[in-house]
Amino acid sequence: MIDLIAEGLSNKQIAETTALSPNSIKSFIRSAYRKIGVEKREHAIEWALERRGGRAAG
């Protein structure tokens, strides 16, 4: 899901893509942020890009 955030998708778009509820997405994202040690969406994006070697998905 962090990869979907890094691709620029909103929570609503992620919910539509994954067929999960928006509340489930919010909960998952909060949990993911805690696990990777970030507090903001932009930091999660930076984290995801670093894990990919700075490359965008695709």
Domain ranges for the chain: 2-51
Residue 40's alpha-carbon distances to 9, 10, 34, in angstroms, are 15, 14, 10
Q: Model's pTM, two decimal places?
A: 0.78
Say if residue 58's pLDDT is above 70. no
Provide the pLDDT confidence category of residue 56 given band limits of 50, 70 and 90.
low
In CATH, the architecture of 2-51 is Orthogonal Bundle (1.10)
The answer for residues whose C-beta is within 8 angstroms of residue 36's C-beta and 6 or more apart is 2, 44, 47
Task: Note the pLDDT of residue 53.
Answer: 79
Which H or E element spans position 11? helix 11-18
Task: Note the pLDDT of residue 1.
Answer: 86
Asked which of 4-8, 30-34, 49-53 is least confident by mean pLDDT, the reply is 49-53
Looking at residue 34, its amino acid is R
